[in-house]
Amino acid sequence: MSKQFTRAQLEPFVAAGYIKVERHPEADLYVYNYTPKTQYDAHWTPETRACRGLILDGTGAIAARPFEKFFNLAEHADQLPKEPFEVYEKLDGSLGISYWLEGRPYLATRGSFVSEQARRGTRLLHERYGHVRLDPSLTYLFEVIYPENRIVVDYADREDLVLLAIVETSTGREVPLVDLGFPVAQRHDGLTDLESLTSLVGTNREGFVVRFASGLRVKVKLDEYVRLHRLLTGLSPKHVWELRRDGANLDAVLDRVPDEFYAWVREVAADL
C-alpha cells in the first residue's frame, strides 16, 4: 500500500515553504505541489516527493495521485536497479492530472486547478475525448500540449492530450496502459545504453523517461535541450549575481527552469 498523507501531515511543510497548496475555487479540493525552495534546498522527503500535484479532498482523502517526483539519471547512477527497463519520449508540455467533480473528470496541473494549461487540458478532455469512459478510481496522467504552451520543443500546431500513465488513486499502483483512444508517449525499443542518451543528436526533443520494471522512473534530458532552455530563459551567472546583489528571492527564476539547473545555480550563488 502506497503511503497516505493527511492535510495535517502536510501542513508543517506548507508552513516551512516546502509545499504550496491551492484550494479549488468551487469545491473542497486541495492541490499540493513542492516549491522551488524544496528543489533548491534538495529537501526531499516522502511528503515533498509525493506533492507533485497531489490532490486531497476536505476529509484528507486522496482524490488524485500523480507521479512522485522522479530524478535525473545522474542522480540515480549508483543505485539503478538491475532489471529490465523501457525508454519513452519525454514530452515538453505540462502535466495534466485527472480528478473528478460532480461525476465528471477534469484536469489540474501540478500546482493549480485553474491554470491556463489546466483549462485547456480540461477543454480537450471534454470536447475531443468526452466519449472516453474513464474510471473514477484511477488517476490519468497526461501531457498537455498546445502551441501557446511551447517551452523549447516545437510541436507546430499540435493541440492534444498524450496519455503518460494510469495510477490507482488509493494505492499509487501503476496499472497497464490500455487503448482508450488517447495518443501515448512513443516508446524507443532500440535504446539500451542509458549513459549515452543525453548526447543524442537532435534539438526538437526534450529527452527520455526510463521506466524500470519495479516502477522506478528516471529522466534523461538531452544536452542540447538543456542548453536551449537556458538560453531561452536568459539564465546566466550575471543574472544570478544581479538577483543576489539586489536581495531578490531566487524562487522567481527557479520556478521557470528545469531542475537540471538547480545545482548550477547553487554553485554560482555560493561563489558570490
Torsional class of 17: left (φ above 0), alpha (ψ -120 to 50), beta (otherwise): left
Lowest mean pLDDT of 127-136, 199-208, 222-231, 258-267, name the range.
222-231
Q: What is the pLDDT of residue 193?
A: 72
> Domain check: are 105 and 172 in the same one?
yes
Task: Point out which residues pair with 211 in neighbouring strands.
Answer: 86, 217
The answer as to whether 198 is a domain residue is no
Average pLDDT over the chain reads: 84
The answer as to whether 202 is a domain residue is no
> Domain check: are 111 and 167 in the same one?
yes
In single-letter form, the type of residue at position 53 comes to G
Domain count, the chain: 3
Q: Is the pLDDT of residue 124 over 80?
A: yes
Phi, psi of 190 (to 5 degrees): -90, -5
Separation between Cα atoms, residue 18 and residue 52, nearest integer Å: 12
Residue 136's domain comprises 89-187
The answer as to whether 221 is a domain residue is no
Domain boundary among 187, 218, 252: 187
**65 vs 222, more confident:** 65
**261 vs 158, more confident:** 158
The answer as to whether 259 is a domain residue is yes
Other beta carbons within 10 Å of 11: 12
> Domain check: are 96 and 176 in the same one?
yes
CA angle 213-219-220, nearest 5°?
A: 120
Q: pLDDT by residue (tens digit) across 194-231? A: 766 666 645 556 778 889 988 889 888 765 555 555 55
* Residue 106 contacts residue 134 (beta carbons within 8 Å): no
Using the Cα atoms of residue 237, residue 19, residue 21 and residue 128 in order, give the sign of their dihedral: positive
> Domain check: are 109 and 175 in the same one?
yes
Mean predicted confidence (pLDDT) in 100-107: 97
pLDDT band at 9 (very low <50, low <70, confident <90, very high): very high
> Domain check: are 62 and 126 in the same one?
no
Phi, psi of 33 (to 5 degrees): -140, 140
The answer as to whether 213 is a domain residue is no
Residue 155's CATH number: 3.30.470.30
In single-letter form, the type of residue at position 255 comes to D
Q: Is the pLDDT of residue 75 over 60?
A: yes
The answer as to whether 27 is a domain residue is yes
The answer as to whether 82 is a domain residue is no
- The pTM assigned to this predicted structure is 0.81
Mean predicted confidence (pLDDT) in 238-247: 64
Q: pLDDT by residue (tens digit) across 158-195? A: 899 999 999 999 999 999 988 999 999 888 887 777 76
**248 vs 170, more confident:** 170
Name the E strands within 46-120.
52-57, 62-64, 85-90, 94-101, 104-108
Mean predicted confidence (pLDDT) in 61-89: 85
Q: What is the pLDDT of residue 1?
A: 40
> Domain check: are 65 and 94 in the same one?
no
Q: What is the pLDDT of residue 171?
A: 93
The answer as to whether 147 is a domain residue is yes
As to burial, measured by CB atoms within 10 angstroms (0-12 exposed, 13-18 middle, 19+ buried), residue 57 is middle
Q: What is the pLDDT of residue 114?
A: 97
> Domain check: are 107 and 182 in the same one?
yes
> Domain check: are 177 and 253 in the same one?
no
Longest alpha-carbon distance in the chain: 56
